Structure 1
Amino acid sequence: MDTEAVQGREYRPRVIDGALQRALRTAGAVVIEGARASGKTMTALHAAGSHVFLDDDEMGLLASVAPKSLLDGPSPRLLDEWTNAPVLWNLVRRSVDASPATGRFILTGSAVPADEVTRHTGAGRFLRLRQRTMSWWEKLDEPSGAVSLASLFAGEKPAADLGAGIELEAIVGNLLRPGFPAMTELAPDDAADLLRGYIDDVTRADIRRIADIRHEPAVLQQLIASLARAVASPVSHRTLASDMRSIAPTIDAETVGRYVGLLERLFVIESQQAWAPKLRSRATVRVSSKMHLVDPALAAVALRAGPERLMGDLQTLGFLFESAVVHDLTVLASGLRGEVKHYQDSYGNEIDAVVTLPDGRWGAVEVKLGGAQLPKGIESLARAVAQIETESEQEPSFRLVVTGTGPILVADDGTVTAPLSALAP
């Protein structure tokens, strides 16, 4: 469908497009879930044959009196923000059951419904896709795309490019450029204003739409700031509660855990699960998850970290950069049906990102902000991979060190190095 004719904006291709087409060929209905403003409507509309917007008052009224009529239209039929009319779930399910045709409906939503039993009735009929904010490859005006994730899994090595890295100022600029499609072209100050408004809307309205909250928005904003401070690191609910007691003296870990769960339902935060392979040594695998905000630029705004602060605080910049790499790998891996986890063992070995595919292939990724840290990154990655029992897990398809300022190279041991700005699907 012509998105410019419907929404007034030309569609910008996304990594999820291929996955959506595969899903429509496979299932009767596809559900696209993700944070508000991440581009779900545009992605779905681009693939749709007809549409209805359930956040429109007139359509909401129609949903209350004649919901079946909303299913009528050329396929795929987009039911945008279907959670505003939950009755549509079972109506779509029954319609899919009544026909062998695939690709009949696309449903989009910005929050996971509380009624998990209702959602599970879609088993075998619905496929779910996660829409994330734009990766650097998607949002930058001229991404090089010199290092393809799919090619790395195929065993291909990129051509060397000693000048592929970008300057630190450009890295900061790219980090602070939001991946929310409507914000990518805004001036930095304007984008920051909108991101502050985004956090305000989440804590004042969105989270209260799905649950009863007794704390004020300022407490939830403090939680988001605390999560931003701990981004790309394991953090407990107890630690978060302690960090929040300056503004909420009696808050406990259980309450914080509930609020974290609500933010996950809104897709504002996403956990990076631990990878637990068999090991050669007696080390034990750490199983704590790492938390990431939906977009690194949102984390920076939550921390009140603008360009000047980040240029002068390389530690904070490093954590945000690691989160950006994990975010982008997650987006790129989704096109391969892959996931991104992390590895840490009791001997102190770590792999910042482990990209796993359904067929058992995996790749190990270390993140280093500066190109000067490449030797250390290559060494630590080799040490961590050596702990893995490769008879059960296979040898890694690739070892990759992602930097900000470094070159594209293939080290003597086969490790690939590349800047984040060069990564592509």
Structure 2
Amino acid sequence: MAYQRRVLDDELDLLLGVLPAVAIDGAKAVGKTSTAQERARSVVQLDMRAVREAVSADPSAILVRQRPLLIDEWQKAPDVWDVVRRAVDEDRSPGQFLFTGSASPQPGATAHTGAGRITRLRMRPLAFTERGLIAPTVSLERLLSGAGEPVEGHSELGLVDYVAEIMASGFPGLRGLPDRLLRGELDSYLHNAVDRDIPDQGLAVRKPAVLLDWLRAYAAASSGTASYTEILDASTAGLTDKPARSTTTAYRDALMQLWLLDPLPAWAPLGQEFTRLGQTPSHHLADPALAARLLGLTRQSLLDGGGTPLGPQEGTLLGRLFESLVTLSVRVLAQRAEAEVTHLRTRNGDHEVDLMVSDPSGQVLAIEVKLSGSISDRDVRHLNWLTNTYRGRILDRIVINTGPIAYRRADGIAVVPLALLGP
């Protein structure tokens, strides 16, 4: 099959045109290797035992291979990182090396971070615009310009289609699979993480079922700010022999190293306008399809309001997982625009903004996510509060929803169906 370009490809082409080495990080199956192979003349596949043993015996031998050289799953033989770092110190020619990694290496596994020599990019599962369902008409990058860009476009997709995309997964290799096979692949992905990937990170999982229960509780907290204590309590309800907090913290850290958890940090602006902001991240798995599978949800049960969300936010699990899909998509687009994505919630929960997309100067594109085809004044009250509080620093305000039409309201707030949002 022909390679389908990703949003990250433009960024990668730009960097490889001027830099000697780029590392692509991200969870397994997001498409890192396929993207890197498009640019490589030779490949070292370190997930193959025989190759890994040979490279570990003499890491510097990789330098005789043709370049651009792709070093796939480099964290399995981390000495190659320092070999490349020294090589680019001697030769700064652009586009020589590509790394891909599905896990962060253990602390101390490399002698140097690579800062200044090896630039790192994050790859996530497919953003909605990358799934090829409809051509986008609204550019996130232009919204970030603060010029009040016209917003227009029509989408034929509705709620049922968005539910289908939550369930279908953004892992490229799983797209188009029959439902039963897709469920099996998602189950295998989760069990392999628990049974193989976490032990590869040096952590023994003595009770895999306990870890899977913790992941289920985390999935129920998707797009919410439940404390880790609440997640632990929900995952061990009814157990007399509860795991120690240190054990579940170690599990959480290992899942973070695998990029299986993708929490969204809390917004922390400079200045005195905000003194009561919460600092808890909002919780997201790498792909909302994993959350749906952990919770045993189906398309119909989501549409019927099934499942019980965890955390202080109101709403249904469908609303939470739609927000997670939007968050994934906005993060992919924002990275290309060199913007940072966070969320805002005051400590007492009286105000919250789902996504705060900040440019390097600290100005903000504020985004609310609504599982609705139409938007009321009540739906934009937090955006109006933010505008009045953070005067002069708001680039634009938008509501991302499931409706058919992109437009600007009379108050200037843009309403954009997720399907129409692109780079």
Matched AA of 1:251: P
Task: State whether structure 2 residue 162 is matched by structure 1 residue 171.
Answer: yes
Relative distance call for 1:398 and 1:282 in structure 2 (3 A) is: closer
2:193 paired residue number: 202
- 2:79–2:109 Cα contact (<8 Å) kept: no
Deviations 1:289-337 (A, max 9, x none): 1110000111111111111110101711000001111111001111112
Q: CA deviation at 1:166?
A: 2.5
Label 1:252 to 1:384 Cα distance change in 2 as closer, same or farther (>3 A): farther
TM-score normalised per structure 2: 0.92
Q: Which residue of 1 aligns with 2:373?
A: 371
The question of whether the paired residues in 1 share the 8 Å contact of 2:362 and 2:393 is answered with: no
Return closer, same or farther for 1:201/1:209 CA change in 2, 3 Å cut-off: same
- Cα distance change, pair 157–258 in 1 and its aligned pair in 2 (3 A): same
1:12 corresponds, among 4, 12, 16, to 4
Contact 2:68–2:95 (Cα < 8 Å) also in 1: yes
Residue in 1 aligned with 2:308?
Answer: none
Helix, strand or coil: the match of 1:310? helix
Secondary structure of the residue that 1:323 maps to in structure 2? helix
Indicate yes or no: 2:31 matched with 1:33.
no
Quote the offset at 1:80 in angstroms: 0.6
Determine the C-alpha separation between the residues in 2 that align with 1:113 and 1:144. 38
Q: Tell me what 2:319 maps to.
A: 318
Q: 1:407 aligned to 2:400?
A: no
- In the TM superposition, 1:15-414 aligns within 5 A as 15-116=7-108, 118=110, 120-139=112-131, 141-154=132-145, 155-161=147-153, 163-164=154-155, 166-246=157-237, 249-277=241-269, 283-313=275-305, 315-346=316-347, 348-388=350-390, 390=391, 394-414=392-412
Partner deviation per Cα, 1:96-122 (whole Å, 9 max, x = no partner): 111121221111111001125726441
Distance 1:16 1:26, change over 3 A: same
Distance in 2 separating the partners of 1:236 and 1:253: 13
Check the 8 A contact 1:167/1:405 in 2, yes or no.
yes
Q: Secondary structure at the match of 1:225?
A: helix
Residues 34 and 130 in structure 1, CA contact (< 8 A), matched pair in contact too: yes
Contact 2:269 2:362 in 1 (8 A): no
Shift in Å at residue 152 of structure 1? 1.0
SS at match of 2:267: coil
Describe the superposition over 1:267-297 as per-residue Cα deviations: whole angstroms up to 9, x where unpaired.
Answer: 0011111112257767511111111000011
Give the secondary structure class of the aligned counterpart of 1:185.
coil
Letter in 2 for 1:188: D
The secondary structure found in structure 1 opposite 2:110 is: helix
Higher helix share: 1
Separation (CA, whole Å) in 2 of partners of 1:45 and 1:359: 35
Q: Report the Cα offset of residue 74 of structure 1.
A: 3.1
Q: What do residues 337-368 of structure 1 show as CA deviations (whole Å, max 9, x unaligned)?
A: 22210011246111100011224332000000
Please, which moves more after superposition, 341-350 or 168-177? 341-350
Do the aligned partners of 2:363 and 2:395 also contact (CA within 8 Å) in 1?
yes
| 1:401 alignment partner AA | V
User: What amino acid maps onto 1:197 in structure 2?
Assistant: S
| Percent of pairs with identical residues | 32
In structure 2, the CA distance between the partners of 1:144 and 1:158, relative to structure 1 (3 Å rule), is: farther
* Cα distance between partner residues in 2 of 1:406 and 1:345: 32
TM-score for the superposition, normalised by structure 1:
0.91
| Contact map agreement 2:216 2:235 (CA 8 A) in 1 | no
- Please report how far the alpha carbon of residue 236 of structure 1 lies from its aligned counterpart in structure 2 after TM superposition: 1.9
Does the C-alpha gap of structure 1 residues 259 and 280 become closer, same or farther in structure 2, counting only changes over 3 Å?
same
d(CA) in 2 for partners of 1:117, 1:81: 14
* Inter-CA distance 297–57: structure 2 relative to 1 (3 Å threshold): same
How many Å separate the matches in 2 of 1:229 and 1:134?
22
Q: Aligned with 1:10: secondary structure?
A: coil
| Paired AA for residue 336 in structure 1 | A
Report Cα offsets for 1:45-75 as digits up to 9, x if no partner.
1122322211223322321333222222333
Contact 2:221 2:283 in 1 (8 A): yes
RMSD: 2.0
Is the 1:240–1:256 contact (alpha carbons within 8 Å) kept by the matching residues of 2?
no
SS at match of 1:289: coil
Residue segments in structure 2 that go unaligned for 5+ positions in a row: 306-314
SS at match of 1:232: coil
**Contact persistence 1:355–1:364 (CA under 8 A):** yes
Amino acid at match of 1:357: D
Q: How many residues align?
A: 411
Q: Residues 273 and 289 of structure 1 are in contact (CA less than 8 Å); yes or no, is this contact kept in structure 2? A: yes
- Conserved 8 A contact 1:165-1:421: no
Quote the Cα distance in structure 1 between the aligned partners of 2:19 and 2:416. 37
